[in-house]
Amino acid sequence: MSYGPPHDPYGGQGPGYPPPPGHFHSPYPVPPPKGGAIAALVVSVLLVISCYGIFAAVGLIFSIMAVSEQYDHEKVSRFTRYAWIANGVVIGLLVLFFVGIIVFAVLTS
C-alpha cells in the first residue's frame, strides 16, 4: 500500500500543480490590456458630449486607436498615454477657464 499522490513515471508534477515555466506556449498572441484605454475613451466621449470641441476630439481619436489595436502592446500603451495627456490638457484648460471666470466675477463686484 502506498499513501499520498500517485507517482507519475513520465516526470509530470501531478494534479493541482501548474505546468513548469517554458513548457506551454499559446499559439495565439495575448491581447494587450485595455482598461486604461477604455477609461480614456469614456472620459473623451464625456468631454465631446459636453461640447468641448476639437480639443476633446484629440483624446477621443487616440483612445479609439488604442482600443482598436489588437496585438501591439506598445502601440496600445502609447495611444492610451496620448489620450490621457489630451484629456488632461482639456480638463486643465477647463479648470483654468472657470477659475478665471470666478476671479473676474469677484474682482468686478
pLDDT tens string 67-85: 999 888 899 999 999 999 9
In this predicted structure, the answer to whether residue 104 has a pLDDT above a threshold of 90 is yes
This prediction's pTM: 0.69
For the segment 46-66, what is each residue's pLDDT rounded down to a tens digit? 999 987 777 889 999 999 999
Angle subtended by helix axes 73-108 and 53-68, to nearest 10: 160
Q: Do the beta carbons of residue 35 and residue 77 sit within 8 Å?
A: no
> What average pLDDT does this structure show over 28-33?
79
